[in-house]
């Protein structure tokens, strides 16, 4: 009794004690939900992107011309097309996440099939970009040898990109229902296959660039095959009811949301691609392109972790909006943002310490390695920013606000970042460093704008919007139709 009185007295003297305990428990529970989505997504993205980096490393040790050609294709052409495909696929994250939160599980499979139709048609229309890569690069003024190498490498990326259509959309489908652990295992298997196959084809059999690209395509389809087995094999029986003609219903509204999603992501990915293109007009184009792309790829590899947190933000926001809980949505945003910033700070410190040695991992060319070292400080601060703005974009995607983000990206990147980069790089003669400062200027302004947008959002209103969207696109499941028949009889 005395102990109880003591506890009561303590709570009266410290009224925050119990609420602090409750808050800690809520943070722990929310963190578990976030990491259940984020960790597999991070593993998947890091290992998948790791395959691109491993390929770059193998090609970089063949010769510097092919390294520059690969950098052009991977950073320009692949980002251009991949941005459209991945961007349009982000509509799947919004719709599946909100459908799962509203317990409309059967609609998730319908949304997945609709995304396949839209993405496959879009990618097929974009194939001429890859087929005509060499003349395109020559037309924009790239060196003939680099353009020829880029044209050859570009053809190898076609089967790789078709694998991305299925791999990305199925991952989003599984992620929305917190079943994406299998994707992490499959992605780890992809990297485990990719490294030895690349070594055999390039180093042992001497197939050169073609061997490196063949290994990339083979390992990419390993993931897709595993995802097909998991989804079609009965492990998603509530959300996958088989192929259906319902996928062709309401396809235009999905296309509209997909286009706004695609524009949002494309404006961001193309921004980096254009910066690499600008680097190609520097005094020593080979060194500038190679160094710039190496730094971008190192930053992008860490960015894959941030995209995992972005995926968690999308799922948590979409799920809670689908459930109709505005307060839980706001709380999830705070927790995922704090987590992502902490991760970004850790990698920022690591890059400050080891950044000047990064270039030697990708090339034996002393000029390129020194150019990478010169950019390492800017790379470190870019990595710090990576911990913030992807999560803000994820919050917007989870709420279906891709259109607003597209406008912000257009202004911040193309009206602010690119002009500053061009002036500093060419007029002030800071070369690649000036372009990178311009890039960071765009990212900083984008981060500020997104922060303000998220702060001003009325989440109670967003709950109503999400509910209206799900009602408008809802199709009855077979069980519900059967129940109605029974009720009428």
The Cα-based distances of 252 to 96, 118, 263 in angstroms read: 17, 10, 16
- Model confidence at 77: pLDDT above 90: no
The Cα-based distances of 136 to 71, 72, 119, 132, 174 in angstroms read: 15, 11, 24, 6, 38
Q: Which whole number is the average pLDDT over 364-383? A: 79
pLDDT at 371: 78
- Model confidence at 2: pLDDT above 60: no
Q: How many CB atoms lie within 10 A of CB 312?
A: 29
* 431-444 pLDDT tens trace: 777 878 888 898 89
**285-323 and 16-60 helices, crossing angle to 10°:** 150
Q: Look up tokens 């002009």; give the residue.
A: 419
Give the span between the Cα atoms of 169 and 174, in whole angstroms.
Answer: 9
pLDDT at 283: 66
The Cα-based distances of 282 to 135, 291, 429, 432, 462 in angstroms read: 20, 12, 10, 8, 47
Give the span between the Cα atoms of 331 and 294, in whole angstroms.
Answer: 37
* 146-168 pLDDT tens trace: 889 989 999 999 999 999 899 98
Q: What mean pLDDT, rounded, does the chain reach?
A: 80
pLDDT at 268: 67
- Model confidence at 269: pLDDT above 70: no
pLDDT at 331: 92
pLDDT at 336: 92
pLDDT at 294: 77
% of the chain surpassing 90 pLDDT:
14
pLDDT at 1: 43
pLDDT at 213: 93
Q: Which whole number is the average pLDDT over 136-149? A: 85
- Model confidence at 39: pLDDT above 70: yes
Burial classification of residue 360, based on how many CB atoms lie within 10 Å of its CB (0-12 exposed, 13-18 middle, 19 or more buried):
middle
* 224-240 pLDDT tens trace: 999 999 999 988 888 89
Let me know how long the chain is.
489
Q: Are 364 and 318 a contacting pair, CB within 8 Å?
A: no
* 388-410 pLDDT tens trace: 888 998 898 888 787 788 888 88
* 418-466 pLDDT tens trace: 889 888 887 887 877 787 888 889 889 989 999 999 999 899 888 888 8
Exposure class string for 25-56: b at 16+ Cβ within 10 A, else e: eeeeebbebbbbbbebbbbbbbbbbbbbbbbb
pLDDT at 400: 78
- Model confidence at 135: pLDDT above 80: yes
- Model confidence at 488: pLDDT above 50: no
* 81-122 pLDDT tens trace: 777 777 777 667 777 888 888 888 888 888 899 889 888 988
Q: Are 256 and 469 a contacting pair, CB within 8 Å?
A: no
Least confident of 63-72, 169-178, 299-308: 299-308
pLDDT at 376: 79
């Amino acid at each position: 009794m005395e102990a109880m009185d003591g506890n009561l007295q303590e709570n009266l003297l410290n009224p925050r004690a119990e609420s602090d305990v409750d808050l800690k428990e809520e943070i722990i529970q929310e963190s578990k939900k976030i990491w259940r989505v984020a960790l597999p997504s991070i593993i998947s993205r890091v290992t998948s992107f790791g395959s691109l980096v491993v390929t770059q490393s193998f090609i970089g040790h063949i010769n510097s011309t092919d390294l520059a050609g690969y950098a052009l294709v991977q950073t320009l052409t692949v980002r251009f097309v991949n941005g459209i495909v991945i961007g349009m696929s982000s509509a799947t994250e919004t719709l599946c996440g909100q459908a799962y939160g509203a317990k409309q599980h059967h609609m998730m499979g319908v949304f997945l099939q609709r995304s396949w139709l839209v993405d496959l048609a879009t990618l097929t229309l974009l194939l001429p970009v890859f087929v005509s890569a060499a003349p395109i690069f020559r037309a924009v003024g790239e060196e003939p040898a680099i353009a020829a190498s880029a044209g050859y490498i570009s053809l190898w990326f076609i089967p790789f990109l078709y694998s991305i259509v299925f791999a990305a959309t199925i991952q989003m489908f599984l992620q929305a229902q917190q079943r994406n652990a299998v994707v992490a295992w499959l992605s780890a298997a992809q990297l485990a296959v990719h490294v030895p196959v690349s070594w055999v084809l390039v180093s042992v059999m001497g197939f050169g660039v073609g061997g490196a690209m063949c290994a990339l395509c083979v390992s990419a389809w390993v993931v897709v095959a595993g995802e097909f087995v998991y989804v079609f094999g009965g492990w998603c029986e509530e959300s996958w009811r088989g192929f259906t003609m319902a996928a062709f219903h309401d396809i235009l509204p999905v296309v509209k949301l997909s286009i706004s999603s695609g524009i949002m992501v494309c404006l961001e990915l193309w921004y980096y691609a254009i910066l690499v293109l600008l680097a190609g007009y520097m005094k020593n184009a080979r060194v500038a392109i190679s160094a710039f792309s190496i730094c971008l790829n190192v930053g992008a590899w860490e960015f894959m972790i941030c995209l995992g947190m972005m995926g968690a933000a999308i799922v948590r926001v979409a799920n809670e909006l689908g459930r109709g809980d505005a307060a839980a949505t706001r709380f999830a945003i705070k927790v995922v943002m704090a987590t992502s910033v902490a991760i970004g700070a850790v990698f920022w410190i690591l890059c400050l310490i080891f950044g000047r040695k990064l270039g030697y991992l990708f090339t034996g060319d002393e000029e390129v390695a020194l150019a990478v070292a010169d950019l390492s400080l800017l790379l470190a601060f870019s990595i710090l920013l990576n911990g913030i703005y992807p999560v803000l974009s994820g919050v917007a995607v989870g709420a279906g606000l891709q259109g607003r983000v597209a406008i912000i990206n257009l202004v911040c990147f193309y009206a602010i970042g690119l002009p500053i980069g061009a002036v500093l790089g060419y007029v002030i003669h800071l070369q690649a460093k000036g372009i990178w400062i311009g890039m960071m200027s765009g990212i900083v302004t984008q981060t500020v704008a997104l922060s303000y947008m998220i702060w001003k959002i009325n989440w109670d209103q967003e709950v109503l919007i999400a509910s209206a969207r799900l009602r408008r696109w809802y199709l009855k499941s077979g069980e519900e139709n059967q129940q109605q028949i029974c009720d009428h009889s």
